[in-house]
Amino acid sequence: MTLLQNNEHDDRLQKLVGPRDWQSPQPHRLYDLVVIGGGTAGLVSAAIAAGLGAKTALIESDLMGGDCLNYGCVPSKALLAVSHRLRYLREAAEYGMPASNGEVDFAKIMQRLRKLRADIAHHDSAQRFTDLGIDVFIGQGEFLNEDTVHVISDDGGLRALQFKRCVVATGAHPASLHIEGIDTVAPMTNRDIFNLEKLPKRLTVIGAGPIGVEMAQAFARFGSKVSMIALDNQVLPREDAEAAQVVNQALKDDGIELFLGAQITKFVAGESSKQIRFELNGQSHVVDADEILLATGRAPNIDELDLAKAGISFDKVGVKVNDKLRTSNPRVYAAGDVIGDFQFTHAADAMARIVVRNAFFFGNSKLSDLVVPWATYCDPELAHVGLHLSDSEDAMCELDALRFDFKDIDRNLLEGETTGFVKVVVEKESNVVRGATIVGNHAGDLIGEMTLAIQNKMKLSDFSGIIHAYPTTASIFSRLGDKASGARLTPFVAKLLKKIISWRR
């Protein structure tokens, strides 16, 4: 990652998570665990192992903290916090306050981002992990054989680390497109968009996944004219179509021009703009941009590892592992984005814990046992966990779905946050919760309750008996529980209950 030069906050970040004057220690003869990669999966693996008394080494080739701290969760959410508040300011007249539609100070927004990122960075710093008793090596790790890793430092120094166990946690990087002219337009990715100091007048986002959607909406609210071009026919293509349509409409309301189901044919660098040429519905189109953000997926960081020398199987998706996260080399595990599954910070954390249990305690923890929620932090947010209604074949049972709209929840009415809904997928016969989609304000926080329900095999009707504080948005789950309970009444019982209620009145 390239940070801004002579920027006080980026300089502070660099000193914490990628110190140029770092002196790597002399290696021990044998390590209980060598971790390659200082992102979430690597840091959690190393910290837990060291806490257990294991002799541990950690290798990082770039900046510790990985994607999440440096060019993912942390900087993106700093921008989204501003974009959300802009909506509140522009809707203020509805609440009897003066509305604001003025220009933003983009340079100040970006400086705030860099300050907050540097403020958080001490949690992932090289010195902190050294203080935990871990040998921290800044350099490129590559396998020499099945039980040894070489660390090549920037000064050309070479150190050999022999291990009993190893974790590959090198993460992933933005995938590129092999389309004519792409190099001439120098598209940005999430690795450099946070270096911008001037707001682009015209921004074109390639891709409609979480990164593309979040950044498109933020920059549109900052004042850029934003276009989105995507091969997929819906935004957030892995999500429930009805929920994705809510986000789709929100993007349009923010003035974003959407070209979904498009096929890009060529990029052209002009004198004053960058052109994207594409086909859509049999017609040719051209969009001009000052900057292009490429958000078309991710590829594993494995090219520099020499995995074959260690007998580790891999493909273009990532390092191949079994359900216990063990590779084809029994000494070596892999976790996080590098295996291609569940590319989220919280999933990487959970995988790291599986690795440590299985590597040191002959554990039986399995990746397939994880219940992993995820969220896209656009406005409204969209979160999901478990199965979709269309996954009946995977569930090996018939599924049903119950839905409740936020417009029918008092708290949301009072706050003016009525967009969206909760849709819960249940086993039709047992009413056990198997999945949920939430689109609306604070969906990322609300999804935790449904994650707990799936983890504990709860019935949706159980939520009828859970007391939520009034008025809260979370009370929507009690309402869904009531709805589930009512849906399971036989016609005779429903009629009898109606008579009892009428008699009591």
Are 134 and 253 in a shared domain?
A: no
Residue 415 predicted with pLDDT over 50: yes
Q: How confident is the model at residue 1 (pLDDT cuts 50, 70, 90)?
A: low
Q: Of 266, 296, 326, which residue constitutes the final position of a domain?
A: 296
Residue 500 lies in a domain: no
- Are 75 and 194 in contact by the 8 Å Cβ rule? The answer is yes
1-18: average pLDDT: 92
Q: Of 264, 296, 328, which residue constitutes the final position of a domain?
A: 296
Residue 384 lies in a domain: yes
Q: How confident is the model at residue 488 (pLDDT cuts 50, 70, 90)?
A: low
Domain with residue 406: its CATH number is: 3.30.390.30
Q: What is the pLDDT of residue 494?
A: 52
CA pair distance 362, 368, nearest whole angstrom = 17
- Element containing residue 119 per DSSP (H, E): helix 106-120
Are 289 and 314 in a shared domain?
A: no
pTM of the predicted structure, to 2 decimals: 0.93
Residue 353 lies in a domain: yes
From the number of C-beta atoms within 10 Å of its C-beta (0-12, 13-18, 19+), residue 77 rates as middle
Are 24 and 101 in a shared domain?
A: yes
Q: What is the pLDDT of residue 505?
A: 44
Are 151 and 50 in a shared domain?
A: yes
Q: pLDDT tens digits, residue range 76-130? A: 999 999 999 999 999 999 999 988 877 899 999 999 999 999 999 999 999 999 9
Domain with residue 314: its CATH number is: 3.50.50.60
162-186: average pLDDT: 97
209-217: average pLDDT: 98
**How many C-beta neighbours within 10 Å does residue 37 have?**
31
Residue 3 lies in a domain: no
Are 305 and 357 in a shared domain?
A: yes
Residue 52 predicted with pLDDT over 50: yes
User: How many CA atoms are closer than 13 Å to the CA of 288, on its beta-carbon side?
Assistant: 5
Q: What is the pLDDT of residue 501?
A: 46
Q: Of 317, 339, 369, which residue constitutes the final position of a domain?
A: 369
Are 426 and 468 in a shared domain?
A: yes
Q: What is the pLDDT of residue 412?
A: 97
Residue 263 lies in a domain: yes
| Chain mean pLDDT for the chain | 94
Are 145 and 289 in a shared domain?
A: no
Q: How confident is the model at residue 491 (pLDDT cuts 50, 70, 90)?
A: low
Residue 2 lies in a domain: no
258-263: average pLDDT: 98
Are 12 and 126 in a shared domain?
A: yes
Pair of tokens at residue 243: 């929920």
Residue 421 structural domain: 380-492
Percent of the chain whose predicted confidence (pLDDT) is above 90: 90
Are 268 and 361 in a shared domain?
A: no
Residue 51 lies in a domain: yes
Q: What is the pLDDT of residue 184?
A: 96
Q: pLDDT tens digits, residue range 361-412? A: 988 999 999 999 999 999 999 999 999 998 877 777 899 999 999 999 999 9
CA pair distance 441, 377, nearest whole angstrom = 9
Q: What is the pLDDT of residue 154?
A: 77
- Element containing residue 42 per DSSP (H, E): helix 40-51
CA pair distance 151, 460, nearest whole angstrom = 52
Q: pLDDT tens digits, residue range 110-119? A: 999 999 999 9
459-472: average pLDDT: 96
Q: Where are the beta strands (DSSP E) in 319-477?
A: 332-334, 374-376, 381-386, 399-405, 421-427, 433-440
- Are 43 and 129 in contact by the 8 Å Cβ rule? The answer is yes
Pair of tokens at residue 20: 């140029």
Are 349 and 283 in a shared domain?
A: no
**φ, ψ dihedrals at 207, nearest 5°:** 115, 145
Q: pLDDT tens digits, residue range 280-292? A: 999 999 999 999 9
Q: What is the pLDDT of residue 499?
A: 60
Q: How confident is the model at residue 355 (pLDDT cuts 50, 70, 90)?
A: very high
Residue 4 predicted with pLDDT over 80: yes
The structural domain count of the chain equals: 3
Residue 498 lies in a domain: no
Q: What is the pLDDT of residue 492?
A: 54
Are 318 and 252 in a shared domain?
A: no
DSSP state of 276: E
Residue 498 predicted with pLDDT over 70: no
Are 204 and 251 in a shared domain?
A: yes
- Element containing residue 253 per DSSP (H, E): helix 241-253
Residue 214 predicted with pLDDT over 70: yes
